[in-house]
Chain A
Amino acid sequence: MPLVSALAASHAPNILLEPGREWEDFMNLHYSMAPQGSASRPTLEKQKKLRQDAEQAFAVLRADLEEAKPDVLIVVANDQFVNFFWNNIPTFFVTTADEVEGQFTRHHFHYRNHKDLGKAIVRAGMDKGIDFSFGEHIELQHTQNVPLYFLLREPRIPILPIYVNTWVDPAPSPRRCYQVGELIREVADNSKERVAILATGGLSHFPGSPRIGEIDESFDHKLLEVMRHGKGRSLVDYSVQDLLQAGDTEFLNWMVVIGAVGDAKAAYTAYMPDVVATGWGFVSWKL
């Protein structure tokens, strides 16, 4: 079966935190790195509106995903010092566990992992010159859990977490991430199952940086426009430094999905800067 659905969505923790005290906690912690960011805190009313808008965007993505009737959902995300530390940072990592689980505040997540598809991707990579790391245990974190809460709350199908190092220097190039996406597409097209893929993260934000609170909205809008026109291939010429400057290194996760969809035009895009830290972005491609 071919790839049947492709999605991309932000994974900012405050999307799933409750407006009010939990958002305030989140801001208090992050602004301890940059007190000036605190000047632009959204009101409770604004927080609730953002949550509502995000839920609507996720509802579109969830409807597209369900309509495609996938047998498995590949989740391309980055680690943030949960599974990987400075003793070993994989550039690309494929999960070959039987099951995966994790916790986000009140919410527990537990899925079967599609290790056969994972191994098929690792083997195909070795044939084509992309040598993935792989391993049999990972803990799901907000980079997967936030979008999964809205898109696949009930574990009806297995998932397959794939990690991209967007998090520490040196990160892979957008071109390399695109090539990984092309490889995944090839494996999916040769699979007997219906494969869907989700990229998480972004868009512009500067976590743990003195620039926390800045959002490069114009850069984000440019990325979304490129995707709407089916010109994602042109983004391979960006450097990691370009993305870093715009606070968009997690867009490397998205580049994998862009490589998987090729020249397909995004059918749906939505964008809402959360005022706190992150330009929330949402995209669906109908394949």
Chain B
Amino acid sequence: MSCYHLSRLLFDLKMSEAVYQRSLKDFEAVIADYDLSAEEQDALRSGDPRKLRQLGVHGMLCLYIKRLNPEFRDNIYWQQK
């Protein structure tokens, strides 16, 4: 089963400032914009990259969920690509 749309959301979270800012305000609304299964939505809500990886997402894309975690928002990693 492809996890294209789940991967796309995570990619946009890193690459699109607009998607990132919207996600900070209302992540549920952003999730609703993507064609995701209930299991994929739950994995996103968990904020745990390991759960995303179990669904087949590339490991580096999984890490991008941490951008929404308050402890990681100022991480230097987001200032480079």
- Residues of A at the B interface (CB closer than 8 Å) are 13, 17, 21-22, 25-26, 28-30, 32-33, 80-82, 85-86, 102-105, 139, 141-142, 145, 167-168, 207-210
Assess the A208–B80 pair: CB atoms within 8 A: no
Assess the B15–A82 pair: CB atoms within 8 A: yes
A-side contacts of B15, CB under 8 Å: 81-82
Known: A208-B58, A208-B63. Is A81-B11 also a contact (CB below 8 A)?
A: yes
- Per DSSP, are chain B's interface residues mostly helix, strand or loop, or mixed? helix
Closest CB pairs A-B (n = 8)? A208-B59, A208-B60, A141-B81, A25-B76, A104-B80, A25-B75, A22-B76, A82-B81
Tell me the complex Cα distance, A17–B66, Å.
Answer: 19
**B20-59 vs A: 1/0 string, CB under 8 Å?**
0000000000000000000000000000011001000011
A-side contacts of B14, CB under 8 Å: 81
Assess the B72–A207 pair: CB atoms within 8 A: no
A-side contacts of B75, CB under 8 Å: 25, 28-29
Pick the contact of A105: B60, B61, B80 (CB < 8 A): B80
Interface size class for chain B?
A: 20 to 34
B-side contacts of A168, CB under 8 Å: 58
Tell me the complex Cα distance, A105–B58, Å.
Answer: 24
Pick the contact of A26: B7, B59, B71, B76 (CB < 8 A): B76
With A33-B59, A33-B62, A86-B7 given, name 20 new contacts (CB 8 A): A21-B76, A25-B76, A25-B77, A26-B76, A29-B63, A29-B66, A29-B77, A32-B49, A33-B49, A81-B11, A81-B60, A85-B11, A86-B8, A102-B81, A103-B81, A105-B80, A141-B80, A142-B80, A208-B59, A209-B59
Known: A32-B66, A33-B50. Is A81-B80 also a contact (CB below 8 A)?
A: no
